[in-house]
Structure 1
């Protein structure tokens, strides 16, 4: 790629080869790109639209988080939707006079703000620890459920909203500027933004490629050709049409399920069990939910993850659930999380998640401390060399001069931004202190002396700092932020620090998860900003504004859902809350269901071995063995198949297969961006329309007809039927 002269004085036109008729057989795609002025990144319109998109994502994440435990960062989708919104300006100049074309740097700030707003439900534990505290009881926990009022829930969210943000800022120079970690999602978002705005593609490409049958290979010719088509599709009518129709289709299906609840849980598997006098739907939770949003999630997740999820679903719900029920180990209803098969297999899922988390994090911990030790040794050697060449020595001048010809050390990597675009160290220091004090004080006010001690909260923040460093490095290298494992490690440690206290155990894990989640999100965004030369300070502002706004938006959304629906209940099973509370109870009370331990050991050991093989896979030189390892299922995805009823996994498998077929027919071997646009419309359609159905339910409106909900014994329809 070479720059050529541009029509304007200070701009550059970048040409990328594409198949057409030239002397070499290649033409070019011209990117007219004007470098943006310093300070023009942080604009009111970028932040305002970022908050708007983020609020939609926030409600969507609350909905799906309470339902399935699935929460998405949606950075790529935020950038895409923000770009499309600003495309309305030239089309309707009187309606949107301020919406002139968006700049690349503004889009970076927009998606940073949107992500900060949209992911607060996970960072604040609104889909995990807060429902878990509300599920406690006197019999098992020795205390009543903790249900926080709106003011107290706001204080809790404020307590965990900012610590991870300030923690991430000083890490930027180390992991992005010096080590140049890839952060695949952040890099992919940067590539998409550059593509949409016809800016020069980021210099750093997405180097790590999945191995095995899902390896994606891109050639310069195929890439340029698809880029040209994508620009036309996403900038013009096809992009809007794809997003609009997918949104309408998913929203319509959501309304249909609200009016006719059987559409949410079709008892299609009863065809198999009817000859035997049983009902797989009513008795074993085997029904199908034709949700377009689940299919969209499957497209975004991809086939490998959805296959792992469905393997886990089959093992959990078709093998272990009947075994535990028919053996009398789980005598209650299958759907019960206390004495039913669902609660029994939850423990097996928990063993899998803990085993994989510990093994997967181990190499990262070793690498982190090895890297830290190496840096200390390098500093010591350079200090010794500096002292040696500064003072008189028996060596002659030529030999001494050789020391000055050494290549610059890794720590000497220059900062690529001017000071006025960086976040000052004094802000970081004061912010860390202030956010830590705020967290300790507010947690003490919210939960009191029966919750977690102030010194224990402070210890949790220290632990969150260390674990967040490891999580950020894992995210930068693998695109996976192991926040679930980080939270469980905190729970394990706090079982010793403050034993016998379920509340403290859950809160400590939530604090660690919040810190790791926010630090990872901001680091992904800063990677995008670094590739596109957006101001880190502008992104920092956007993150703070988005986090603050989401404190109130997320709290309102959560209280809205809990005021209308029973949580946990048929509509919202809150599987993440069950995992949090079950582990806390185990660590503090030591009670396990009958005969579940052998299965926990077998499955935990198996996935510990798989996690170890996957950690070792990059060092395997034999590509055939490496490919075989890539076929092994993901432990987290496998366990999620246990936590959710079969309908959630089956619909996602359809989406995963669609993504696979689309990638096979694509020139580049990747899922086309237009398919991602359709998937985003599917996800957002159900998320947004769920707000309408929630409002209708709060006003007393319900199903028009309960036809079909009594088939096979019923008991599986939602909506009050």
Structure 2
């Protein structure tokens, strides 16, 4: 899965204005009392978090099951949290019953809970490594020891066992990363600025307009999704199969399918992400696959099912995997180098500062003094964090082998010994670059543990289960540090941040499997021609199979193509970094190998949708740059929310046996009806 974040800088004048506003930020709240950490956690914030967590779990689940491209939803979480509680407090205040005003700290707790919950929906693996264990993905030829039937009970239990450990792994380093090294954590910082602005008079007026824009786009996309449902009575019917570029292009999955979700995602994602997806689709479905299909009967056996990885599907999946692994390995190595260099530079700078300042204390500006005071006020004892990690790790060592008999206690112990180091590297690198490599660490864990256990002992399941252990720890650790940065900039207590993360994680551990199960039972998830193909379930299963079987199971010449694309992915990333270091601007226009790899399996339809979203935003910016910047994310979030939430009534109708009344289908003129 790929999570994208859109942090773009504006013009020099805009940057200067924002810097002035930031410098005066805490002075704007000087007369506002900061509530205690217990007052920052309210019943209304918990209920709001519960409702929004359900909404965002549905959105992330649908995105996971369709393409796996997850945009940053922090803006929508902060905005909707503000809108819901602010509306409630205004109503209660008019009745004279308001006891506690709505503060930015409470808003931060809500945003933390919602993002933590949706983060579990991303890292839970319900649409990737857990689904990859199922018979639907494994196929009939797989041995029973390498297949595991999905059920709500063990999935929720497994997530509760593995999802909380990462929270304790990074807590002792919060002061070092936030105060000593002053890591930027761009997403956490951007979220904090957003929440701070909501609670100023000017920001509150803008927030109301943003909420109205979000609501209008939400209603429009919801009813358009409902409208599309009426014409999708069978396979190949409806707007999803609209032959935008002709019937031949549709067979190669080149079409615009009118998905408001991916138009909205395209408006949030950076332009080069969307362009990279389209380039990858053209390279694969426009050039490579048609050529390889002419080799049927020579390179691979003729007459195989479309889903058989020994045929054309094998080239699609394994070449995409080689690009993802090449991109992932490069970024892991690069991030380690950047982390070590930055760490050493910070140490050197700190010694220099200590030598030239009296008593080792810098003269802080007003913002820093105030933020540092409240960040250090309510501490989480390091001993409690260490004990929590040890106890939860011990619990996992005992329980995970019960859930997955293919894994032994010593496999889990090794994972938990290594995990804190990887969690630190990921959290530190995320603070520098805003790029989390959690999924890459998960893929490496699959290869290592699947080959360690072996095929005959259930190595495929062992690799997939170990992926969840590593993925969860590394992902939640970096997410928590992002939240600490947000809390630092909004004067929110570290204790309320930690509580919000724990509460949101608990909600995610329950909601993520339940929402997935709803889709799983209502739709033909991962089936042939399904609108929910779950591409990463196939990919993760193939990675695990590669770990236990080696390259012997690959179709002819597939290994050669994998090596070519692996090396190409590394070379492209290396070129981008060299050009970036040399400040040669052309690096901004080089496609990302990771993004290019995604449509290798899926096709171009969602990439075209996302490029349409980029085009809308581009034209909007040409017309009104300020308006696009202020309202673009809100409109995009509404498109995503409305279209995704139609999945709930649609699933209810499917479970009730109610089908669409009509089929809109396009046929060639040579076909007689």
Shorter-chain TM-score tier: 0.7 to 0.9
- Deviation digits for residues 586-632 of structure 1, max 9, x if unmatched? 12112212222222222221220121233334432xx4x2x112211
* 1:636 shift after superposition: 1.4
* Alignment match of 2:288 (pick from 320, 328, 336): 320
Aligned to 2:166: 164
Question: Match for residue 409 of structure 2?
Answer: 454
SS in 1 for 2:69: coil
What do residues 525-558 of structure 1 show as CA deviations (whole Å, max 9, x unaligned)? 2111111111111010011111112222112112
Mapped partners of 1:693, 1:667: distance in 2: 37
Report how many aligned residue pairs link the two structures. 624
Q: Is the 8 A contact 2:45 2:85 kept in 1?
A: no
Q: Indicate if the aligned counterparts of 1:502 and 1:585 stay in contact, CA closer than 8 A.
A: yes
Match of 2:548 in 1: 588
Instruction: State the match for 1:246 in structure 2.
Output: 217
Q: Structure 2 vs 1, CA of residues 303 and 469 (structure 1 numbering), >3 Å: closer, same or farther?
A: same
| 1:232 correspondence with 2:205 | yes
CA contact (8 A) 1:59 1:688 kept: yes
Contact residue 88 and residue 99 of structure 1 kept, 8 A: no
Tell me whether 1:689 sits opposite 2:646 in the alignment. yes
- The equivalent of 2:395 in structure 1 is 438
Cα distance in 1 for partners of 2:382, 2:306 equals 52
Deviation, 1:568, is 0.6
- In the other structure, the counterpart of 1:352 is 323
Equivalent residue number for residue 470 of structure 1: 425
Of 487-496 and 85-94, deviating more is 85-94
Q: Give 1:120 deviation, angstroms.
A: 1.4
For structure 1, the 5+ residue unaligned runs are 1-15, 20-27, 200-227, 274-278, 383-401, 715-721
C-alpha separation in 2, matches of 1:596 and 1:96: 71
Contact kept in structure 2, 1:64 and 1:70, CA below 8 Å = yes
Q: Distance in 2 between matches of 1:661 and 1:688?
A: 28
1:133-172 to 2 correspondences below 5 Å: 133-134=133-134, 135-137=137-139, 139-140=141-142, 143=145, 145-172=147-174
Tell me, yes or no, if the aligned pair for 2:375 and 2:494 is still in contact at 8 Å. no
Partner residue, 2:243: 268
In the TM superposition, what is the alpha-carbon distance from 1:369 to its structure 2 partner? 4.2
Measured at CA, do residues 308 and 159 of structure 1 come closer, stay the same or move farther in structure 2, by a change above 3 Å?
same
Partner of 2:463: 505
Q: Distance in 2 between matches of 1:360 and 1:499?
A: 28
CA deviations on 1:477-520 (whole Å, 9 max, x unpaired) are 11110122111222233245333311111111221111121112
Instruction: Say whether 1:606 aligns with 2:558.
Output: no
User: Residue in 1 aligned with 2:538?
Assistant: 578
2:657 to 679, 688, 700: 700
1:255 lines up with 2:220 in the alignment? no
Structure number having the greater helix percentage = 2
Secondary structure at the counterpart of residue 62 of structure 2? helix
Residues 138-147 or 596-605, more deviating = 138-147
Determine helix, strand or coil for the equivalent of 1:567. coil
The equivalent of 1:514 in structure 2 is 472
Deviation at residue 406 of structure 1 after TM alignment: 7.5
Comparing 582-591 with 250-259, which one deviates more in the overlay?
A: 250-259
Provide, for residues 342-381 of structure 1, a one-character-per-residue CA deviation record: whole Å limited to 9, x for no partner. 44222111111111111122122134345667789999x9
Q: Are 2:181 and 2:346, in contact at CA under 8 Å, matched by a contact in 1?
A: no
TM, length-normalised to structure 1: 0.80
Q: Which residue of 1 aligns with 2:183?
A: 181
Partner of 1:276: none
SS in 2 for 1:87: helix
Q: Which residue of 1 aligns with 2:495?
A: 537
Q: Show the counterpart of 1:113.
A: 113
SS of 1:579's partner is helix
| 2:273/2:595 contact within 8 Å kept | yes
**C-alpha separation in 1, matches of 2:175 and 2:614:** 36
What is the distance in 1 between the residues matched to 2:504 and 2:669? 48
Q: Tell me what 1:5 maps to.
A: none
TM-score (norm. length: structure 2) = 0.85
Q: Describe the shift of the 1:664–1:378 C-alpha distance in structure 2 as closer, same or farther (beyond 3 A).
A: closer
Gaps of 5+ in 2: 1-14, 19-24
Would the alpha carbon gap of residues 171 and 75 (structure 1) be closer, same or farther in structure 2, given more than 3 Å must change? farther
CA contact (8 A) 2:44 2:85 kept: no
Instruction: Write the distance in 1 (CA, Å) between the matches of 2:212 and 2:349.
Output: 57
Q: Which of the two has higher C-alpha Rg?
A: 1
2:22 maps to what in 1? none
SS in structure 2 at match of 1:71: strand
